[in-house]
Structure 1
Amino acid sequence: MAPASRLWDSPSGYGSVTRALHWGMAALFAWQFAGALLHLLADKTAIERFFWNTHFSVGFTLWLLVLVRGAWGLANLRRRPAHEGSARMARAAKAGHLALYALMVAVPSLAILRAVGGTRGFTVYGIQLSAPRQAAIPALTAPGNALHSLLGWVLLALVVGHVVMALYHARVRRDGTLERMTRGALAP
């Protein structure tokens, strides 16, 4: 087990909890986006059904994890590494991360509201949390119908931008940004 000091973030790197949440969520998002792309490009195929059948449960899991990650990030706010680069680049990084977090909350929240207000009910992990209803509640379903997919694709675009910037920091700037999220705090 890691010492308590390695669990927390520090100015020289991210702690084991932050890194586990980041990379675990990255894997789940890769699964989600693969399923969404297959749903768009290869609908009604065996591979699409394999991924798509997990879409709601994985999305709900991501929603829970982003809430945990947000709380953990706030608890570590003063310990976190500073953004590398100019003040303008730091502001852009903060805005990008804020947009990522906002969409990571909004996209699954819209799907949950749509499910609760829809006729099929809200079931996750095989547990029915909201019963099916005779008629949908438009106030709950309309926002999800209008925005869930659109904002999901915007989230994918931001994730791709996030990966590109991480690679830019690693390959061009060589400033240690990516290493702080892969290896954690550097030894003193």
Structure 2
Amino acid sequence: MTQANDAALPLRDTALRYGKITRALHWGLGLLILWQLFGMIVKVTLEKSPTVSAIVSSHQPVGLVIFALVVVRILWALMNRSNRPAHGSGLVGLASRAGHAALYALMALIPFTALIRSWGNQRVFAPFGFEIFPAQEPPVAWAVNVAEWHGEMGWLMLVLILGHIAMVAVHDLAWKDNILRRMAGR
């Protein structure tokens, strides 16, 4: 996108395309979530090493940033709900709305369950070096149990992201309706 076109792109969403803020939140969260998923794939597939530990050690602070940005993204989406491009009608529109609702739900629930775990477990939760939750002795059993869903929901998120990407490809390559332009083009 050229500077002139970027300047013409509004901050808020329109019926034709998403605005600068929605795009920044979409792509920024996308990169952070992919980093988290990459880190967990590295953790479960490679042996422990300093490199693996360095990647995995970013999981809590990045997760906290994701949670904060998801709250902002949900509030921003609600503020723009009457201005946003339509998802379409019929079964395709319904599937699109359901897929996006599932992605939003997981973006909120995954870090929320991690925060519950962090609040209730035996370790201090101090991302970025600032203590948010002290260690619990003994750990809070129900909080630890809730957190068992964290990883499973993360893998479900990966499946939904792959489906999201696949549907963008179907829209642009098969249906030729230029759906990607709403979030990435002019």
TM-score category of the 2 structures, normalised to the smaller one: over 0.9
Q: Indicate the SS of the match to 1:6.
A: coil
Q: Spell out, residue by residue over 1:68-119, the C-alpha distance to the aligned partner (whole angstroms, 9 max, x if none).
A: 00000010000001124x5100000000000001111111111110011000
Q: Which residue of 1 aligns with 2:167?
A: 165
Structure 2 residue identity aligned to 1:58: V
Choose the corresponding residue for 1:182, options 177, 181, 184.
184
Q: Spell out, residue by residue over 1:13-47, the C-alpha distance to the aligned partner (whole angstroms, 9 max, x if none).
A: 00000000000111111111110100110141233
Structure 1 residue identity aligned to 2:79: A
Structure 1 residue identity aligned to 2:95: A
Q: Return the alpha-carbon distance in structure 2 between the equivalents of residues 81 and 65 of structure 1.
A: 21
Choose the corresponding residue for 2:72, options 63, 68, 80.
68
Q: How does 1:18-167 map to 2 (within 5 A)?
A: 18-84=22-88, 86-144=89-147, 146-167=148-169
Q: Return the alpha-carbon distance in structure 1 between the equivalents of residues 173 and 31 of structure 2.
A: 22
Q: Which residue of 2 aligns with 1:13?
A: 17
Structure 1 residue identity aligned to 2:36: Q
Q: Return the alpha-carbon distance in structure 2 between the equivalents of residues 174 and 160 of structure 1.
A: 20
Structure 2 residue identity aligned to 1:94: R
Q: Return the alpha-carbon distance in structure 2 between the equivalents of residues 43 and 35 of structure 1.
A: 13
Q: Indicate the SS of the match to 1:88.
A: helix
Structure 1 residue identity aligned to 2:54: F
Q: Return the alpha-carbon distance in structure 1 between the equivalents of residues 44 and 7 of structure 2.
A: 45
Q: Return the alpha-carbon distance in structure 1 between the equivalents of residues 144 and 125 of structure 2.
A: 12
Q: How much is the aligned-residue C-alpha RMSD, in angstroms? A: 1.7
Q: Is the 8 A contact 2:125 2:134 kept in 1?
A: yes
Q: Return the alpha-carbon distance in structure 1 between the equivalents of residues 177 and 47 of structure 2.
A: 42
TM superposition score normalised by structure 1: 0.91
Q: Return the alpha-carbon distance in structure 1 between the equivalents of residues 38 and 123 of structure 2.
A: 25
Q: Return the alpha-carbon distance in structure 2 between the equivalents of residues 43 and 58 of structure 1.
A: 22
Q: Indicate the SS of the match to 2:54.
A: helix
Q: Which runs of 4+ in 1 moved over 6 A?
A: 1-5
C-alpha displacement of 1:142: 1.0
Q: Indicate the SS of the match to 2:131.
A: strand
TM superposition score normalised by structure 2: 0.92
Q: Any stretches of 5+ residues in structure 1 without a counterpart?
A: none
Give percent identity, aligned residues only: 34
Higher RCO (CA < 8 A, seq sep 6+): 1
User: 1:47/1:18 Cα in 2 relative to 1: closer, same or farther (>3 Å)?
Assistant: same
